Structure 1
Amino acid sequence: MEKYQLKESEIMAYALPNAVSAMVHTIPVMYGMMFMTEYLGISATAMGTAMLATKLLDYVVAIFAGGIIEKTQSKKHGKYALWMRITTFTLFFGSLLQLVDTTGIISSSLVRLIFVSVFYCTLHFGMNFRATSQGGILQRMGGPSMEIRKRLNARQAQINAAVTIISGAITLPLIQFFANIFGAANGYAITIIVFGILFLGLSFFMLFPVMKKYDLPREGAAVANAPTIGQMFKSIVTNKQMIVVFLMITSMTVGTQIFTPLVAYYFKVVTGNLSAMTLLLTIQGIGAFLFSLIAPAIAKKLGKKGALIFSSALSIACYLGIWLIGLKNIWAMVAFACLIKGSDAIYRCFSTNYFLDCGEYGYYTTGQDNRTMALTVMNWPIKIGFLAGGSAVGYGLAMIGYSAGMEVTSVFANKFMMLFGLVPAAFFLVTLVLAVVAYKLTDEQAEFYANENIKREAALKQAK
């Protein structure tokens, strides 16, 4: 298996740029909704409607991303490397232009909303291709070795956690620093530019050379013989374990995407202490990093099924704690948020592998390589999460009576905490039930399928 041994520098070249990319796109995810209502003068209802429309379009793109990747040929770059390059730019500019203050140049709030929506699509449409391609690069680098695939997943989670500490500590202070110099609404965009320069540099000098080594350009015949989109969809519908994994991760992601954007509202609107958010993010980041160091050992002992059960159960307990205690005790809120990161760290040890294993299983049982489609399905829960979660935040805030600059009453605060904690807990409960009852694919089976698929590909090449 010498062929599949990776250098530590190669693992770092894969993990670090992808981790730093989150510093860029997390800013519009965390602050984008609040930016629209607080600085662009867009109502919560209009924001929710726009999020619903753009996320529906985003999901349509997510459905077809795998097929487009399979049918795209480049003489210079591999199947996945090409799209990683393209989406490096869509990620940066899509994030940046969502948080530009257009009030001085666009008088209509509707047109401002359309402007933001266009670049929301730029970011998230591209992320469909990026997430699939990132999983494809992992498969190329790891080969059939489950240990190396897990190692890449775990290292990515560890680097993500370390970067989260830094970004949690510096993001809001940087936003406020630049806001003091350039105006309150401009701090977000300038911070993205700073982080984006770092992300672009790491991508060009670390990630791109590694991709070039492991993801080689394809011959035209390989592109022509790629499965049709219809065949790809059939491979998903007939793969029972893929459907189970899709439903589990979708429920988990919807719950997370309801919680995440509401954090800013919790500190700015409900507690009136936005500066404390920096403290939360810093402590949360440190906690996530510490959890990421021990998560691989825990995940290895639990296995894929056990990791899902444990992480979803812990998340449920934490969200319920936030609902019941978080309003009166900000430190309890911080503690529960850290534990949520811990549960996520355990899941992240296998995040890509859940879908890739289903792809290996499908390839083994049907003889048709639809692993790219399996990796594309990995995007669908994310998109549904942003669609349902983002819309739920906008409409949920409207339903409980939120408006910019409102006076917060105890009734509103209690309703907010239900939206903030109880609703995400309900979605994670769905994940827990499915993990216990329906998920069957073991680690040993996945490794067997991957090795058999490698043998099949070698035989086909030899036959040619």
Structure 2
Amino acid sequence: MNTAIAGPATAARKLGAMQYLGYAAGDSANNLAFSMTSFFLLIYYTDVVGISATAAGTLFLVIRVWDGFADIFAGRVIDKTMTRWGKFRPFFLFAGLPVLLLSVATFTVPNLFSGSGTKLLAAYVTYGLLGLAYSMVNIPYGSLAAAMTQRPGERAKLASFRMIGTAVTTIMLAFVVAPQIQQYKGDPDGFQRSLLITTAIFAVVGFGLYLLLFVTAREAVQRDVPSVSGKQSFTTLKGNKPLIMLCLASLAFLTALFSLQTVQVYYARDVLGNANLLTALTVLSVGAIFVVAPLIPRLVRSIGKKKAFLSFGAIGLLAGIGISVSPPSTPWVSMTFFGIMGISTAGINTLMWALEADTVEYGEWRTGVRTEGITYALFSFTRKLGQAVGGAVAAYAIAFGGYIGGSATQSEDALDAIRYASGFIPVVFILIGILIFFRYPLTEQTFATMVAETQARRAGASTR
């Protein structure tokens, strides 16, 4: 007979500082692999391995779609799992280290082979395995927030700490890797050695961060069905309109974000003329989270998640236009717009995580079954599609402009293509995301009513 996990008394406990810190540490560990590939894998493939930008763009499209299906697989595995450590925590312990080691392999193995075809095959294999392993740790990580608390304020705070963890890691990556790009420009062998050492150190640090998450996290929200069948999982997804609308809007926004992230290093090195400026661009764009994150819970209380989400999207439209039209001769102008874009992406990304957790409650309210794993997996699937399309569009754009990997100078057409992939392409997809999210139906009042009805239904069932 199924038994409920975590009773109301446990669910009522407030989260402490260590829970928030541990949750931030988890996404810091994730991004030692994820952001490393988002920011630097394309330039590694084009300038070190010697893969053309067009071939790399196709690789990103294929592997990141594969990653999306890996997320669905991971979601089903998680929904079926229940251990003495909980449903999600064991994955941080057993899947964390393989993810980090595969990140080392992704930035090392393809260059060990000779011949363009063999190098490309090695890139597909290593990046594909990294994506599968990453799904086995990221899906439980993202699902964990919905199981830690049902309080909207705490969920917003968890999302803020998650984004702070992301920002700290991403800024650190810029400080560590950008000087290597500048130092080893025209020296692919030196860049390869440097990347091997860097990713190996990240593997050690990242595993320590996963252990901190494992020790501090707790799963407190009551669940009436510990192990969820496949039919129950997909029945819960079917008809979850808030989740579907969130996924579609997120797909558009993330396509914009990953187009910018993919070519940001090219923007600094080739458009602005100095790869070291990537550090400044990253600090301005990613560092905005330290300003935005503390404001998110207050914004949620004052105007609600939906209005806040749309407002940050409008800010992104302005920033994208500014990035593309900024004159390269005055870097401070483009840097300003990168900072404004950072405000937009920080707000949107933070709110996404809180919104996704709310859709879990909607699914349980409709069906009586909590399916954090498959719900987050579907959301993550669309994020991977956004990463795939954004990365591929950016790579195809610079290839169309005539970018030549490893060349010390690029044509004006190639430089224009980099600027457009950084600004105008994101603007188009942000606008699509705004238009979709106008139809998002789940308000704060609706959410409070759903949770109250679910708790009343549970209480009524326990008295029978």
TM bucket normalised to smaller = 0.7 to 0.9
Q: Deviations over 1:112-162 (max 9, x none)?
A: 2222222212222233333331233212221x2222212211222234334
Match of 1:359 in 2: 360
Contact 2:79 2:372 in 1 (8 A): no
Paired amino acid for 1:419:
A
Contact 2:321 2:427 in 1 (8 A): yes
Contact 1:87 1:130 in 2 (8 A): yes
Q: Distance in 2 between matches of 1:282 and 1:109?
A: 35
Contact 1:25 1:91 in 2 (8 A): no
Determine which of 174, 185, 192 is the counterpart of 1:168.
174
Query: Percent identity, aligned pairs only?
Result: 22
- Deviation, structure 1 residue 172: 2.6
Contact 2:153 2:297 in 1 (8 A): no
Report the 3-state secondary structure (helix = DSSP H, G, I; strand = E; otherwise coil) of the residue aligned with 1:186: helix
Paired amino acid for 2:158:
L
Match of 1:376 in 2: 377
Q: Deviations over 1:359-400 (max 9, x none)?
A: 211221233333432222220221101221122123222222
- Deviation, structure 1 residue 424: 0.9
Contact 1:319 1:336 in 2 (8 A): yes
Q: Is 1:279 paired with 2:280? A: yes
Match of 1:334 in 2: 335
Paired amino acid for 1:94:
L
Q: Is 1:432 paired with 2:439? A: no
Q: Is 1:27 paired with 2:36? A: yes
Shifted more, 423-432 versus 361-370: the winner is 361-370
Match of 1:83 in 2: 91
Structure 1 residues 125 and 300, CA gap change in structure 2 (3 angstroms): farther
Structure 1 residues 450 and 116, CA gap change in structure 2 (3 angstroms): farther
Paired amino acid for 1:173:
P
Q: Distance in 2 between matches of 1:358 and 1:322?
A: 34
Report the 3-state secondary structure (helix = DSSP H, G, I; strand = E; otherwise coil) of the residue aligned with 1:404: coil
Report the 3-state secondary structure (helix = DSSP H, G, I; strand = E; otherwise coil) of the residue aligned with 2:441: coil
- Deviation, structure 1 residue 177: 7.6
Q: Distance in 2 between matches of 1:27 and 1:79?
A: 28
- Deviation, structure 1 residue 192: 1.8
Output aligned runs, 1:62-81, within 5 Å: 62-74=71-83, 76-81=84-89
Paired amino acid for 2:97:
F
Output aligned runs, 1:183-262, within 5 Å: 183-204=190-211, 206-211=212-217, 213-214=218-219, 222-223=226-227, 226-228=228-230, 230-262=231-263
Match of 2:146 in 1: 139
**C-alpha root-mean-square deviation of aligned residues, in Å?**
2.9
Q: Which runs of 5+ in 2 are unaligned?
A: 1-8
Q: Is 1:9 paired with 2:9? A: no
Q: Distance in 2 between matches of 1:416 and 1:285?
A: 20
Contact 1:322 1:333 in 2 (8 A): yes
Shifted more, 311-320 versus 16-25: the winner is 16-25
Q: Distance in 2 between matches of 1:52 and 1:10?
A: 36
- Deviation, structure 1 residue 458: 5.5
Paired amino acid for 1:5:
K
Contact 2:270 2:415 in 1 (8 A): no
Match of 1:319 in 2: 320
- Deviation, structure 1 residue 178: 9.7
Shifted more, 192-201 versus 449-458: the winner is 449-458
Task: Calculate the TM-score normalised by the size of structure 2.
Answer: 0.88
Contact 2:300 2:308 in 1 (8 A): yes
Q: Which runs of 5+ in 1 are unaligned?
A: none
Output aligned runs, 1:99-138, within 5 Å: 99-100=107-108, 102-103=110-111, 105-138=112-145
Contact 1:161 1:292 in 2 (8 A): no
